[in-house]
Structure 1
Amino acid sequence: MTKTALITGITGQDGAYLAELLLAKGYEVHGLARRSSTADVNTTRLKWLGIEKDVRIVDGNLTDLSGLARTMRDIRPDEVYNLA
């Protein structure tokens, strides 16, 4: 059975490298990323590693408890990594 991971801070250096590692181990990887009002999520590191299309980005904010609960309910991750 495939494990599912949720990574907060996936667009940062550590989050991107963790995503790459987990994908190599066969995980389904979701990343929580906060969009700013002026730009989309910066996926430069994910593109550079060649994994942008393999990761599912979820729009969210750690200060939004109801949004986090909804994300957890929808994704049902086996593991959560908080790198934000």
Structure 2
Amino acid sequence: MKNRVLLENYYLPGDLERQIGAFVEYHNNERYEESLNNVTPADVYFGRDKSIIRERAQIKIQTIQKCRLQHQKKLHNQTSKTNQSLR
């Protein structure tokens, strides 16, 4: 935040206060923190983090299962084509 604030000139105290408020809002509600398992600080504060992480894990499992199924179908189709060409 220090680097970001120092990059701009603020001529009125209210301008600086608004910029700091906007940064705090962004940091707490929009910015994902790697140290918090990629959820926002607000998610952790309000107790939403566990359900978000659980939902992400379920989506990851479903995605891996779909990829495996697609890979198996592709492999099966290639094997079938190879067997047909050998006949």
Same fold (TM over 0.5): no
TM-score class normalised by the smaller sequence: under 0.3
Q: TM-score, normalised by structure 1?
A: 0.21
Pick the structure with more helix per residue: 2
